[in-house]
Amino acid sequence: MSRRIFLGTTTAALAMPAIAGLVGTARAEPRKMTLTAAPTTVSLVGGEWPDTATWAYNGTVPGPEIRVRQGDTVRVVARNNLAEPTTVHWHGIRLPNAMDGVPGVTQDAIPPGEEFLYEFEAIDAGSFWYHPHFNSPEQQGRGLAGALIVEEAEPLAVDRDVTWVLDDWLLRETAQIDDSFGHRGQMSHGGRIGNTVTVNGRIPDVFGVRAGERIRLRLINVANARSFSIDFGDLKPQIIALDGQPVRPHAPSDGSVVVAAAQRVDLVIDMEGKPGDVVQLTDGYYRGRTYEFHKLVYEATPPLRESPLDAPITLAANPLPEPVLDDSAMRQRIVLEGGAMGRFPAGAERFFEQGQFWFVNGLPDKGRKEPLIEIAKGRTCVIELVNQTSWEHPMHLHGFAFRVLTRDGVPNMRKEWLDTVLIRPRQSIEIAFVADSPGDWLFHCHILEHMAAGMSGLVRVA
Ligand code: C2O
Ligand code: CU
């Protein structure tokens, strides 16, 4: 891919329009909306590059931002205009099992030409997202993903609430999607890492800001495999939520904001520069491959205010049940093995022919008949996750948020709630959650090629 594909034209990135919900005081229940998955051609790279044939929700990449208020009922008819089955999974939001969108587990896949009604109450506020859970590497890799924003009952006082949906595409020189989905090299290494990054469906370029304004920025990583580490230059972003769940506001630990595949980070940023200033953001997650991300360009207009807005940036906690860490908790060790340069459990080779290279407690997804964990409803589950592979894995649990208790045995002071935790090679991480919602819930790596190649299992709550 030539490097011009990274440059694009000058396009200000705009927030995606919200299609449900209402701004203001008097408000009605959000209406029922339809999300139609269909092949769609969009201008992805811009400039003189040809349009790109994608698969998209409602004709846009990413799909429409769905915005509701905490406590609202989300009502979405998912219509399948693809040539293959699909579903919609609501990533990170707690909902009844039957609405979780996992084919063969919580519902039958929606056949081409048919519909399925998703309906659930948005009990948690925060930044979430949606994507298919059928043929995931390809359906998500061709563009099916969108943001689901649940506003707090009392939203933070900010001047702008902005969503950046981060995505990564593997394009050929014709700006068309490379169709090497399921390629063994991608499956057994770091997943499908692309050559073209987009923010809200556009190549990163210019993002206009105003001196003195306070922005709430929601970063949502919908890439198949890529992680981001955004360096905001002289700005001082404060992290206020991770995976939609509030945390005590803090600066990113090494200055950059890391967002692994499927994760979300909510930031509050005060634009403390002067009119006319330019701040070049960069993404340096992969060593030696740092590239220019958005350029923040201050308008020439006078500052909105002279000193940063004097308003709290701490979000109220969501109503999550607190894990009970005594003898009543169930403790389960989950060991990840396999992949390139990895160790394998005995007998692993018999699964290679089925494209299964990743193993969870000795078996790949296609080789397992039983759930990984069976737990009684209401009990606390503590998982010791052990990564014996040579790769990192953003591990995602459906249906619950979990607290991160320790990393390599060291207590985690922040004890953040996540739904997707990045585990480094040879690391072990302890997480805990209350199994308060009955059903079969997936636990899998969100590098979609790893999930498809075996790194997945079920947690059964009964
Ligand atoms: Cu984003 Cu199985 O999920
Ligand atoms: Cu993985």
Name the residue with the closest Cα to ligand 1, atom 1: 91
- Please state the atom number of ligand 1 nearest to the C-alpha of residue 102: 2
Ligand nearest to the CA of 225: 2
- Please state the atom number of ligand 1 nearest to the C-alpha of residue 451: 2
Token pair 């939001």 in the structure block, residue? 93
Provide the total of helices (H) and of strands (E) in the chain, helices listed first: 3, 31
CA gap 450, 192 in Å, rounded: 10
Residue 64 CB contacts under 8 Å (≥ 6 apart), including other chains: 16, 17, 18, 19, 35, 57, 58, 146
Which residues are near ligand 2, the ion (C-beta closer than 5 Å)?
393, 445, 447, 450
CB of 60 closer than 8 Å to CB of 43: no
Residue 383 CB contacts under 8 Å (≥ 6 apart), including other chains: 332, 333, 334, 373, 402, 430, 431, 432
CATH T-level assignment (fold) for domain 330-461? Immunoglobulin-like (2.60.40)
Ligand 2 centroid, distance to 187 Cα (angstroms): 9
Strands (E), 29-159: 33-42, 52-57, 66-69, 73-80, 89-91, 115-121, 126-131, 146-151
- Please state the atom number of ligand 1 nearest to the C-alpha of residue 129: 1
Ligand 2 centroid, distance to 394 Cα (angstroms): 6
Enter the DSSP assignment of 448: H
Paired tokens of 44: 């992805």
- Please state the atom number of ligand 1 nearest to the C-alpha of residue 442: 2
- Please state the atom number of ligand 1 nearest to the C-alpha of residue 444: 2
Ligand 1 centroid, distance to 446 Cα (angstroms): 6
Enter the DSSP assignment of 18: B
- Please state the atom number of ligand 1 nearest to the C-alpha of residue 92: 1
Ligand nearest to the CA of 389: 2
Tell which residue, 259, 294, 256, has the closest CA to residue 6: 294
CA gap 216, 461 in Å, rounded: 36
CA gap 252, 442 in Å, rounded: 30
Tell which residue, 297, 316, 324, 439, has the closest CA to residue 381: 324
CA gap 458, 361 in Å, rounded: 12
Helix H, strand E, coil C: the string for 380-398 is EEEEEEEECCCCCEEEEEC
Ligand nearest to the CA of 357: 2
Ligand 2 centroid, distance to 336 Cα (angstroms): 9
CA gap 436, 439 in Å, rounded: 10
Ligand 2 centroid, distance to 457 Cα (angstroms): 13
Ligand nearest to the CA of 338: 2
Backbone Cα Rg of the chain = 21
Strands (E), 50-203: 52-57, 66-69, 73-80, 89-91, 115-121, 126-131, 146-151, 160-169, 196-199
Paired tokens of 18: 């919200």
| CATH 2.60.40.420 domain range(s) in the chain | 3-298, 330-461
Ligand 1 centroid, distance to 444 Cα (angstroms): 8
Q: Which long-range contacts (CB under 8 A, 24 or more apart) does 106-109 make?
A: 106/439, 106/440, 109/85, 109/134
pLDDT tens across the length of the chain (462 residues): 333 333 333 333 334 444 443 333 445 566 799 999 999 999 999 989 999 999 999 999 999 999 999 999 999 999 999 999 999 999 999 999 999 999 999 999 999 999 999 999 999 999 999 999 999 999 999 999 999 999 999 899 999 999 999 999 999 999 999 999 989 999 999 999 999 999 999 999 999 999 999 999 999 999 999 999 999 999 999 999 999 999 999 999 988 999 999 999 999 999 999 999 999 999 999 999 999 999 999 999 999 999 999 999 999 999 999 999 999 999 999 999 999 999 999 999 999 999 999 999 999 999 999 999 999 999 999 999 999 999 999 999 999 999 999 999 999 999 999 999 999 999 999 999 999 999 999 999 999 999 999 999 999 999
Ligand 1 pocket, Cβ-based, cut-off 6 angstroms = 89, 91, 131, 133, 262, 396, 398, 442, 444, 446
Domain 3-298 has CATH 2.60.40.420: yes
At residue 30, the pLDDT reads 67
Please give the angle made by the CA atoms of 455, 457 and 458, to the nearest 5 degrees: 160
Q: Edge to edge, what strands does the sheet with 89-91 contain? A: 66-69, 146-151, 126-131, 89-91
Q: Does residue 22 sit in helix, strand or coil? A: coil
At residue 7, the pLDDT reads 31
Ligand 2 centroid, distance to 424 Cα (angstroms): 10
- Please state the atom number of ligand 1 nearest to the C-alpha of residue 398: 2
Ligand 1 centroid, distance to 140 Cα (angstroms): 11
Ligand nearest to the CA of 423: 2
CA gap 372, 41 in Å, rounded: 41
At residue 27, the pLDDT reads 54
**Phi, psi (rounded to 5 degrees) for 26:** -70, 125
CA gap 187, 171 in Å, rounded: 18
Task: Tell me the β-bridge partners of 74.
Answer: 120
Name the residue with the closest Cα to ligand 1, atom 3: 91
CA gap 379, 182 in Å, rounded: 38
